[in-house]
Amino acid sequence: MKKYLMKSVVAVLLGALNGIAAGPKICFEAESAGVIEQPMAVYTNGVAGASGPYLEIPEGVGNPPKRNEGKAVFTVEIPKEGAYTLWCRCWWNGECSNSFSVSLDDQPVFLFGEDATYKTWHWVKYPVSRTVKPLNLTEGKHTLTFFNREDGVRLDQILLSADKRFVPMDIEKTGVRQ
Ligand SMILES: [Ca+2]
């Protein structure tokens, strides 16, 4: 009898935790950036499988410290305050072409990427581990900036999720979901 009671208490608690964990997801296309600075540019026909056009820093155009230019700036409307995970649908050319520097509002840049999945579109997240703080976003407008860190990189879609259990699959629907 006691065992059954414990089981139902655990089930109720897990249900409550799931309810708390869920949160908004905001997905948008990389090519919708408000500012795109060369050598970051919009491409449509380089590699297959993107959701329409995508952003690319072509291989060989240069990266810091030799070349510091190249960025994409997004204005994102956050519907609800929370701790958000940043997901990006990326294509990396290789181990020297698998990252961006990213900044949120006027906070210091952080390293995004450095995973070892190459030459295919795949979703990459930040933060990677629980020891790194997620992005704490207040309700309202925020600025997300992707900087040139390595050339040979592509960015198709961006998704901010306050739902820790959510994992994007393939091309995601753009817009806001609860
Ligand atoms: Ca796209």
* pLDDT category of residue 17 using cuts at 50, 70 and 90: low
* pTM value surpassing 0.85: yes
CA of 90 relative to ligand 1 center, distance in Å:
10
- Measure 29 CA to ligand 1 centroid, in angstroms: 5
| Distance of alpha carbon 29 from alpha carbon 20, whole angstroms | 28
Task: Dig out the tokens for 155 from the structure.
Answer: 């960015």
155 three-class SS: strand
2 C-alpha vs ligand 1 centroid, how far in Å?
A: 54
Contact indicator for 135, 104 with CB cutoff of 8 Å: yes
Task: Find the 19 Cα to ligand 1 centroid distance in Å.
Answer: 31
The matching CATH number, chosen from 1.10.1040.10, 2.60.40.10, 1.20.1250.20, 2.60.120.260, for 23-177 is 2.60.120.260
Using CA atoms, how far apart are residues 34 and 62, in angstroms rounded to an integer?
A: 23
Tens-digit pLDDT profile for residues 100-158: 999 999 999 999 999 999 999 999 999 998 889 899 999 999 999 999 999 999 999 99
Distance 158 CA to ligand 1 centre (A): 9
Q: Tens digits of per-residue pLDDT, 29-66? A: 999 999 999 999 999 988 999 999 999 999 999 999 99
Retrieve residue 20's tokens. Answer: 């708390």
In the chain, where the domains are located: 23-177
